[in-house]
C-alpha cells in the first residue's frame, strides 16, 4: 500500500509539471493517430507534431 501511495504522489507531482496539469488520456493519443492514418492529413508534410500537453514549450 505504501508503494502505491508513493507512486500516486509521484504521478501527481509529474502531472503538475505539465502545463495542461494532467497526463494525456489514451483516447487523445488514439484520436491523433487516427488523424495521421486518415486521408484528412494530406496537406501536412515535413513537420513534427508534438502531443505532449505543452511540456516542450514550457521548457523553451
Please give the pLDDT value at position 27: 92
4-11: which pairs have CB atoms within 8 A and are 24 or more residues apart?
none
At 2, the pLDDT band (50, 70, 90 cuts) reads: low
Residue 60 has pLDDT above 50, yes or no: yes
Model confidence, pTM? 0.56
Q: Where are the domains of the chain?
A: 2-59
Grid cell at residue 55: 511540456
* pLDDT per position as a tens digit, 19-59: 888 888 899 999 999 998 998 888 888 888 888 888 877 66
- Give the number of C-alpha atoms closer than 13 A to the C-alpha of residue 8, restricted to the C-beta side: 5
Amino acid at each position: 500500500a505504501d508503494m502505491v501511495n508513493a507512486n500516486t504522489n509521484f504521478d501527481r507531482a509529474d502531472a503538475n509539471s505539465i502545463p495542461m496539469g494532467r497526463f494525456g488520456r489514451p483516447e487523445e493519443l488514439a484520436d491523433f493517430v487516427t488523424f495521421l492514418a486518415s486521408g484528412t492529413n494530406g496537406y501536412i508534410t515535413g513537420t513534427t507534431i508534438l502531443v505532449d500537453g505543452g511540456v516542450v514549450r514550457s521548457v523553451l
